[in-house]
Amino acid sequence: MGWPVGHSLSPRLHGYWLAEHGIDGAYVPLPVPPDQFERAFRALPALGFRGANVTLPHKEKALALADSATPEARRIGAANTLVIDGQGRIEARNADAFGFIESLREGAPAWRAKERPAVVIGAGGASRAILVALADAGVPEIRLINRTAARAETIAADLGGPVKVMGWADRGRALAEAGLLVNATTQGMAGHPPLDLALDRLPPDAVVHDIVYVPLETPLLAAARRRGNPVVEGLGMLLHQARLGFAAWFGVEPKVTAALRAYVLAQP
């Protein structure tokens, strides 16, 4: 459920797993304009849905409308996964934190959460999920940087813990001694300008993770790769977060494989 939603790779992703496991089901895109979201949301049980994913701009509204929500979804302040029980009650969940940390661990197995600070650029909805994931993994200090400092300060106040806000002008200095850099903005996405960030102070062994996956190699990842930094592209977060919803809806634990990645990327 999103507006727009035609660009989403999720129908292809879940369709692959449905076919792989021989499940008689379907995963369909539901383009829902904001002024119709509540009506569409409440109609899901009557239409026979076991659940849904929710993307922009509906994630916060979905959390507010749900009959119940997981503690993690409430901490993040948004829902991206809905699970409908046999009585038609809708539970809001958020799998983005899980998807991020699983993608990071798969793509950079040598990364150790508790050893060094992390730097997160951006203070949108994805950033909140990433901050929760990193805090729960035991990162000692998370340096949050956003062009609008007030937005970052609000998130830091909400989440507390190791989140420390640094100014946009200090973004280069924030990279010193970091073990992880995450771009949680749309900068570098196709049609958007690249992230304005020099990597000079970033340690050569620090992991660079960009959650953008169109293109797979953003200017940030290309620059990091040239320096020799290990890099993690953004598709993994999408693939791994989908595992939790699929398991809840269909009772099967799906796998993220090379064949799945190739299939999703080969969409017509």
Indicate the annotated binding residues for shikimate. 8-10, 55, 80, 96, 213, 241
The catalytically annotated residue of 59, 61, 164, 255 is 59
Measured CA to CA, the distance from residue 26 to residue 18 in angstroms comes to 8
Annotated binding-site residues for NADP(+) read 122-126, 146-151, 211, 234
DSSP 39-103: HHHHHTTTTT-SEEE--TT-HHHHHHHSSEE-HHHHHHT--SEEEE-TT--EEEE--HHHHHHHH
Residue 137 has which token pair? Answer: 């993994």
Assess whether 114 carries a catalytic annotation.
no
What is the total residue count of the chain? 268
DSSP 170: G
Q: How far is CA 98 from the centre of its chain?
A: 8
SS (H, E, C) 184-246: CCCCCCCCCCCCCCCCCCCCCCCEEEECCCCCCCCHHHHHHHHHCCCEECCHHHHHHHHHHHH
Residue 175 one-letter amino acid:
L
Query: ω before 57 within 30° of 0 (cis)?
Result: yes
Which DSSP helix (H) or strand (E) runs through 14? helix 10-20
Residue whose entry in the numeric block shows the structure tokens 């909140």: 128
CA-nearest of 64, 75, 11 to 37 is: 64
Catalytic residue numbers, as ranges: 59
